[in-house]
Chains A and B, each alone.
Chain A
Amino acid sequence: MKFHIIAAATLFALLAAVPSFLGDAYSLRIGTTMLMYGILAMSWNFIGGMAGYPSFATAAFFGLGAYAGAVLQKLGLPMIASWMAAGLFAFVFAGILGMALLRLRGHYFAIASLVVAEVIREAVNSATDLTGGGMGLNLPVPQMGSIEAQAAYFFNAMLLISAATFIALFVTSRSKLGFGLRCIQQNEAAADMIGINATLYKTAAFMLSAVFVGVAGAAYASWVHYIEPPDVFDTLYSVKPIVMVLLGGVGSVFGPILGAAAYLALEELVWRNYLSIHTGVLGLLIVLLVLFLPRGLLSLAPRRWGMAP
């Protein structure tokens, strides 16, 4: 346990120092994206890794967070407050959605969660008065002086959100909730029988998988200051975090971050050099990963390093 805490603290301290060392806008942009995906991957771990429910709802939460944050900002709410409110919105939404979806299992749950994002995207697309619909939504550009300062600001923002996500994941994995979720994942019927209120636990996991994603979505919207439905509700926001977690190691605490970093390094490499076959290479990576390394990169390391307590 001590090992995990020291490693995590070191990691975040190093990351916090990045803007001072690598202050150029480009590196910071990549770093911010990496942190954002880290948030999505860690969040997915609550429902997909710990509870074992293959959720494809991340895009729904991300898009909802982005639009909630954007709309609130347009209505005059200060930026940070909008982000918090967006997270809360996603949190509550996941609770309601969970009541409907969490009694499904396996494929049915996966499909339902995937389709929800599509339906919400359409709904947002149609609510032109509120969201600007297909024409997108412009946000006020934050005034922070130089481009570098702005880049550093958002880098630090994502860093804080990811630290919060990490802490939540870490604490949960050691708590009664985490233990209960692991039991549910391994044998839900037996979990019921020993006194776990599975519905409650799963819903909690689902809500946790949404809240930080919602905040990140709102932060993303402020960062890019123009969003449209096909962008923030993109299915890839649901799929890429899963690939990252698979890459890093499902159910483990450091796996998602490791996976996010590894994936993004790969993506930067491929994207920069082979833009037109970018998705094809992603597909190949996924196939190889699933076939040969289903327990992720961390399965190659000694047990102590990444596995849940």
Chain B
Amino acid sequence: MSGPLLQLSGVTCQFGGLKALSDVTLSVGRGEIIGLIGPNGAGKTTLVNVVTGVHRASAGRMLFDSRDITGIKPYQAARGGIGRTFQVVQPFPELTVIENVAASALFSGAAKSLRVAREQALEHLAFVGLESMAEKDAATLTLAARKRLELAKGLAMNPKLLLLDEVNAGLNNAEVDQALSLIRAIAARGVTILIIEHLMKVVLTVCDRLAVLHHGELISVGTPKEVVSDARVIQAYLGKRYAAKEAKNV
């Protein structure tokens, strides 16, 4: 097992006249936590969508665990070990919490039968701290709980790569800290994580590396320290005052 887990080479994604992603080349190493940051509309969610097969790349190639995944369908990505959460949470509203997670486990191939899927679901719910809500309808959960359900669903797929799309949007400080410790625990299990985030505090404390997207282009990749002091990043996203403040801390 060598080489990066995910390798994007020259990936472009075009919608009509708009280039949402432009010639993106990026490697994600096994076991690392890489943050994807950039202004709104930079193409971060599009990148995740392309990797998971929701959108087709108009050019370029993608390799996952040495397999070519360019042009796969979403269900194939799910079964192949790529899990993701949605920015706007997407539960199955009329199923219970545990059924939601069991569905994930069953259809991604992590569990072979519904019974096994339910057992696994209970474990994942315990991991994210939702086991007390197992029999509740997913639609009745608070936002923070839904985010954790989303996380549990992602985990239930036994992914090698987990793509987190703004898991912290809408959470207060305490909830964000909880989410952070969960993310670290997931990484400790050996899952590679790519996290889209706006909260710099999250990204700087938990990520091994950062990648910065701007107008669909990758303008900087490196350690948090390197990226935060990168002039292009400062101009596009961070702003001088913030960068100066962080440069002192990092």
Contact = CB atoms under 8 A, between A and B. Distances in A.
Within the complex, are A and B direct neighbours (CB within 8 Å)? Answer: yes
Interface of A: 176, 179-180, 182-183, 186-187, 189-198
B127 interface: no
Contact of B75 (A176, A182, A187, A192): A192
B103 interface: yes
Contacts of A190: 86, 90-92
Residue among B75, B84, B104, B109 with the highest chain A CB neighbour number at 10 A: B75
A180 B107 contact: yes
Interface in B85-105: 86, 90-95, 103-104
Contacts of A187: 90-93
Contacts of B114: 176, 179
Q: Is the interface of B mostly helix, strand, loop or mixed?
A: loop
B104 A194 contact: yes
Nearest to A251: B94
Contact of A182 (B86, B90, B91, B95): B95
A172 B84 CA distance: 29
B30 to A, nearest CB: 22
A186 B94 contact: yes
A189 B90 contact: yes
A179 B92 contact: no
Residue among A176, A189, A195 with the highest chain B CB neighbour number at 10 A: A195
Q: Is the interface of A mostly helix, strand, loop or mixed?
A: helix
Residue among A186, A187, A193 with the highest chain B CB neighbour number at 10 A: A193
Given A176-B114, A179-B103, A190-B86, A195 B91 contact: no
Given A179-B114, A191-B107, 14 more contacts: A176-B114, A179-B106, A182-B94, A187-B92, A190-B86, A192-B54, A192-B78, A193-B52, A193-B86, A195-B108, A195-B109, A196-B75, A197-B75, A198-B75
Contacts of B153: 194
A195 B78 contact: yes
A144 B84 CA distance: 63
A183 B74 CA distance: 15
Contacts of B92: 182-183, 186-187, 190-191
B84 A193 contact: yes
A197 B78 CA distance: 10
B93 A186 contact: yes
Contacts of B86: 190, 193
8 contacts: A176-B107, A186-B93, A186-B94, A190-B86, A192-B73, A194-B107, A195-B108, A197-B73
A195 B75 contact: yes
Given A193-B90, A194-B108, A183 B78 contact: no
B79 interface: yes
B120 to A, nearest CB: 13
Contacts of A176: 106-107, 114
A187 B94 CA distance: 10
A192 B106 CA distance: 13
B37 interface: no
B157 interface: yes
Given A176-B106, A179-B103, A183-B103, A195 B94 contact: no
A189 B52 CA distance: 12
Contacts of A196: 75, 107
Contact of B95 (A183, A192, A195, A197): A183
B134 to A, nearest CB: 17
A54 to B, nearest CB: 17
A179 B102 CA distance: 10
Contacts of A191: 92, 107
A180 B130 CA distance: 23
A95 B73 CA distance: 21
A187 B150 CA distance: 14
